[in-house]
């Protein structure tokens, strides 16, 4: 990533271009232009490599985010399951407590029964003590009135003694039963309480894990945002470099095409004027430029032309350009492209004006001197606006009003962009041309 950051920084320097590409085309040889073209091509290769790395890292981050979201979903599911188990355990604890309450009531009844038996035993013992001790066999015999009474007394004494023993034995069994039930219910309650404590601990662990996952997700999101921003910067740099490469190619083409210099053109014009003047018996003023004085001849045509204002790109021209361009919004930027199948910046401007019936050059270097230069304060829709990229006025578009221009950009293709903010505001050269 250090390489990517360094590359983006380099883009800013190259993008401004005022230091590296400060010479005009006229002062540069074809070899120099080809060297610049090669350097930009190499720079683009590095940018594309960095773009590939950034895209790969973004893909990795998106994959990690996907896994993190899946992990968060699992944690959320665990939290729900834990909550359900907690609720169920709490219900069981409440049920156990109710069962213990019922048991306590049963214990109270058993204890009351035991108390009753104890009272009976106490009364029997007291009765025996009043009789002088144990109710013996002789007392039963001599106290009997008859043999039948003797049998009855002996049987009763035996039954009472057995009953007392049975009562004591049952009492012990009831006590043991109560203690066993109490132990069972208490053990069950203790187990449920332990389970609740364990679930509370699990919940705390799951919540902690969820918080850590959310932190990791937040970091991944921040990294994704950083990478997307970096990718955007790299794409912007690639767009600028593509524009530079296209303009240099136009400059090379222009340098290889023989052109008539301004001095040659003026010389030829002067010669033609001189010849026409010599061949004219009446000094026809039609050969004079509209900026030259016409004397007192008020009927000549040049004077009439001078009084007419120069045609300006108006709403009709812009409407024609916009109507012709809208179906092609988004058309990809193509080096040297001059048709709806693909545009570069100057190729689009030439094509757009061709839709209005006007033929203008298709290279940025030639468009710099097309029409009339006007101050930005007088700009009107339809005027050509230029931006400094790798060189002065290296990019061109058509002003459409409200601070917007339409042009072929590498990053967006054919589109409307704002020149009063961001990149285009920073690189607007202030050069405006009005097509006549």
The partner residues of 44 in beta bridges, in order of sequence, read none
pLDDT tens, position by position, 326-345: 999 988 888 788 999 999 89
Give the phi and the psi of residue 155 in degrees, each rounded to 5: -65, -40
Q: What count of residues does the chain have?
A: 436
Q: Are 380 and 372 in contact (CB under 8 A)?
A: no
| Burial readout 353-391 (b: 16 or more C-beta within 10 A, e: otherwise) | beebeeebbbbbbbbbebbeebeeeebbbbbbbbbbbbb
Task: For residues 240 and 259, give the distance between their C-alpha atoms in angstroms, rounded to a whole number.
Answer: 28
For 2-254, the fitting CATH number among 1.10.150, 1.10.287, 3.40.50, 3.40.190 is: 1.10.287
Q: What is the pTM of this model?
A: 0.41
Which of 381, 401, 385 lies closest to 393 in space, CA to CA?
385
Residue that is written with structure tokens 């001189």 in the block: 274
pLDDT tens, position by position, 384-427: 999 987 678 889 999 999 999 999 986 678 999 999 988 889 88
Q: What is the pLDDT along the chain (436 residues), one digit of tens a residue?
A: 444 444 444 444 344 443 344 444 445 688 888 898 899 889 989 998 898 888 889 989 998 998 888 888 878 877 887 788 888 888 888 888 888 788 778 778 777 777 787 777 777 666 665 655 554 545 555 555 665 666 666 666 666 666 666 776 776 787 787 778 778 878 888 887 877 776 777 677 677 778 888 888 888 989 888 898 888 888 888 888 888 888 888 888 888 876 544 445 455 445 544 444 444 434 333 333 333 334 444 444 334 333 434 444 445 789 999 999 999 998 888 878 899 999 989 999 999 999 999 999 988 889 999 999 999 999 999 999 999 876 788 899 999 999 999 999 866 789 999 999 888 898 899 999 999 7
Say how many CA atoms lie within 13 Å of 139 toward its Cβ: 9
Q: Are 235 and 345 in contact (CB under 8 A)?
A: no
Say how many CA atoms lie within 13 Å of 196 toward its Cβ: 14
pLDDT tens, position by position, 313-329: 445 789 999 999 999 99
**What sign for the dihedral angle of Cα 60, 64, 67, 69?**
negative
Task: For residues 26 and 158, give the distance between their C-alpha atoms in angstroms, rounded to a whole number.
Answer: 144
311-436 architecture in CATH?
A: Alpha-Beta Complex (3.90)
Task: For residues 61 and 284, give the distance between their C-alpha atoms in angstroms, rounded to a whole number.
Answer: 79
Can you give the pLDDT at residue 312? Answer: 44
Which of 9, 32, 37 lies closest to 244 in space, CA to CA?
37
- Encoded tokens for 196: 């609740």
The partner residues of 342 in beta bridges, in order of sequence, read 339
DSSP state, 261?
-
Residue 404 to residues 15, 56, 324: CA-CA distances in angstroms? 21, 35, 17
Sequence spans of domains, the chain: 2-254, 311-436
């Amino acid at each position: 990533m250090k390489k990517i950051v360094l590359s983006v920084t380099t883009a800013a320097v190259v993008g401004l271009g005022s230091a590296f590409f400060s010479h005009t085309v006229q002062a540069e040889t074809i070899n120099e232009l080809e060297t610049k073209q090669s350097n930009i091509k190499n720079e683009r290769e590095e940018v594309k490599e960095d773009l590939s790395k950034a895209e790969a890292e973004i893909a990795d981050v998106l994959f990690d985010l996907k896994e993190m979201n899946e992990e968060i979903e699992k944690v959320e599911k665990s939290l729900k399951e834990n909550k359900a188990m907690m609720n169920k355990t709490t219900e069981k604890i409440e049920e156990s407590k109710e069962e213990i309450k019922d048991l306590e009531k049963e214990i109270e009844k058993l204890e009351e029964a035991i108390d009753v038996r104890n009272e009976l035993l106490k009364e029997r013992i007291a009765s025996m003590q009043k009789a002088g001790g144990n109710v013996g066999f002789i007392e039963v015999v001599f106290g009997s009135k008859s043999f039948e009474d003797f049998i009855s007394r002996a049987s009763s004494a035996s039954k009472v003694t057995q009953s007392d023993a049975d009562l004591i034995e049952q009492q012990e069994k009831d006590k043991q039963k109560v203690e066993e039930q109490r132990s069972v219910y208490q053990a069950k309650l203790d187990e449920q309480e332990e389970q609740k404590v364990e679930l509370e601990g699990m919940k705390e662990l799951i919540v902690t894990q969820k918080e850590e996952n959310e932190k990791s997700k937040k970091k991944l999101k921040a990294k994704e945002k950083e990478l997307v921003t970096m990718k955007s910067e790299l794409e912007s740099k690639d767009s600028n470099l593509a524009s530079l490469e296209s303009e240099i190619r136009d400059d090379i083409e222009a340098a290889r095409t023989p052109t008539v210099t301004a001095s040659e053109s003026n010389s030829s014009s002067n010669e033609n004027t001189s010849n026409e003047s010599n061949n004219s018996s009446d000094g026809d003023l039609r050969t004079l430029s509209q900026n030259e004085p016409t004397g007192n001849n008020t009927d000549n045509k040049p004077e009439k032309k001078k009084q007419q204002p120069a045609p300006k790109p108006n709403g009709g021209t812009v409407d024609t350009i916009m109507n012709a361009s809208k179906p092609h919004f988004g058309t990809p930027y193509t080096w040297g492209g001059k048709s709806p199948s693909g545009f570069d910046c100057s190729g689009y401007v030439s094509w757009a004006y061709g839709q209005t019936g006007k033929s203008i050059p298709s290279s940025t270097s030639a468009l710099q001197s097309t029409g009339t230069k006007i101050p930005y304060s007088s700009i009107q829709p339809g005027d050509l606006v230029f931006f400094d990229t790798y060189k002065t006025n290296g990019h061109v578009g058509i002003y459409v009003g409200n601070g917007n221009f339409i042009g072929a950009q590498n990053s967006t293709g054919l589109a409307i962009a704002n020149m009063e903010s961001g990149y285009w505001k920073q690189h607007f050269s202030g050069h405006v041309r009005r097509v006549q």
